[in-house]
Structure 1
Amino acid sequence: MELSAGTVEIVVCVVLIFLSVFGNLLLIYCTRRCIGEHLRISFILIFNLAFDHIVNNLVVNVLKIVYASGVGLDSASCKVLMFTTVFTTSLAIWFTLYIALLYCFKVCQVVHPPVEVASTNHRKCHLVLVFALWVVCFAFCSPVVPYTGKNENLTGGNETYQQHGILNYSECKTEYRNEQLEFLYGKIFLVAIDLLPLIILLLVGFRIAHLLWEHKKATYGGIWIGDNTTEAEVLRACKLVLALIFLITSFWISHFVLMHCLKHFKNYYFAPPIMTGLISGYSAVSPYLLTLINYKIKVKAESFCCKGEKKPVSPTAVSPSVEVSPYA
């Protein structure tokens, strides 16, 4: 029996919601268990990124399920759908860039240690920056709300339109007051707040890859080559950050090309599930990589999933005979 387009999209949304909610709740739980007296900056960023992913799936994909089931959306639901999609997508890109910059700085200190030990007491500054990201991103995406509403002028005579129109979200549309506003804000500004950090993210990824290559090739000389678990954790985390960069850029570029460059793609039967997967795929996959980015979070996740195993030795419990780098 052939599945309808709406059924396929509902199945895709349900799978994405399950993967994202389970992975991100596990990530938040493990991060919360790891927070002690010393709150790491990486924990703050991971926690915020996981929360953003949960909001994306519980709002956007749930509304898509409601829409694909034939219930339809009113004007308020269209505003929520459009705003949450734009807001959570941009915020995920910015937090991923923040994480990449953090680990780029860490691996740079491992490969090229400074003469003096750098101060690590910048927690308040990072908290302010994280809060500022939420506020700024909210302010940048808010103008979408008043211009989004329910489309009352749906075509009724075209059978193809009636069959697939509900899956193209034709009920919800964004109309600006004039063409200049649509061009400057809808086509330039909203793309720029995603594209610019993605370009920076790619440059940071190249820098991290170059530093990892330098570390692998370094033997003797002025570069400090330590042999401790803290350095190994930083190097492993940087490799996972590279995977995150690849995922988020590939998802965003693929969605942008299909949405804006292939005008007739969204009329195809298989278009809505693919677009949904590209929009929410990063939020469903990234938490499982983020659980491995920090040793403590990884241990908590393993103990949660595989109860009864012996408790691994903490990476901070290093033998006194082993030299520990203060820079990792």
Structure 2
Amino acid sequence: MKNPGVVALGGGHGLYASLSALRRVTDRLTAVVTVADDGGSSGRLRRELGVLPPGDLRMALAALCGDDQWGRTWSEVVQHRFRSQGDLHEHAVGNLLIVALWELLGDTVEGLDWVGRLLGAQGRVLPMSTVPLDIVADVLGVDPDRPLEITRVRGQVECASTSGKVQSVSLVPEGPPASPEAVEAVYEADWVVFGPGSWFTSVLPHLKVPELHRALVETRARRVVALNLAPQPGETDDFSQQAHLDVLHAHAPDLRVDVVLADAGVVEDHEALGKSAQRLGGELLLADVAMRDGSPRHDPALLAQAFVQIFASGA
């Protein structure tokens, strides 16, 4: 399929990896990004100004910057963090730029589009919801003396760093409004990509936004799940590859998946993972997509090659 319309879902470093690959494959690319961050610069701006947390949106925009001098420079600028002894310490330049445009224009999506034009972004970035969200997780064994007790933990930072085992996630407010532009993009897409990324705090929350969930189930687009290269510390410790798919199915039993993409070098049980993919309605594709230095990071060029293979097979 030449130049497919692709929607990538997620947040943080995982979405950065998928967007860095996908922009090499198509120029019809839309990122739909979680808006539940409550830590660092994003959390401070959210609490002080009542805005959507801009950090994951900023990272997505940076990932869509080109490889020319303009793109590389602006990507570094928006990712730059101030170092000081004052109030600007650890604020990211891109966060401040995005929030400034939101205040001036009074429109979240329009502000992101303006930043995208400034950066020469090779795609569009949209929030998954129009309101800031909190992630709530049911966690098993937070208290080591009570390993079978379920504790409810609130906030993305708390959920991502819990000492227990996350069982499920939900959102506050419950049933939040979806970004209309994000819903439209999903319906118009040829492919939708879930992951890689923090499974409970970046990938699964999209399925807890009712209008977005419905669009992801009803869209004519084919669906790809790109699995992580390693468990997420504090979030999916000791998770197998198939456990990620089981959790996805538990959060959205009506969601059909067409392709599960995993790195050939990290899958311990190919047969079990293949069966888990089949239970979701899809097939397993194993490919070499990891960096050659042994770190648990996706290589953008190799990941792009895998997406090309997937999109061509579904043409």
TM interval, shorter chain, is under 0.3
Larger Rg: 1
Per residue, is there more strand in 1 or in 2? 2
TM-score, normalised via structure 2 length: 0.21
Q: TM-score, normalised by structure 1?
A: 0.20
Q: Relative contact order (C-alpha < 8 Å, sep 6+): which is higher?
A: 1
Q: Which has the higher helix share?
A: 1
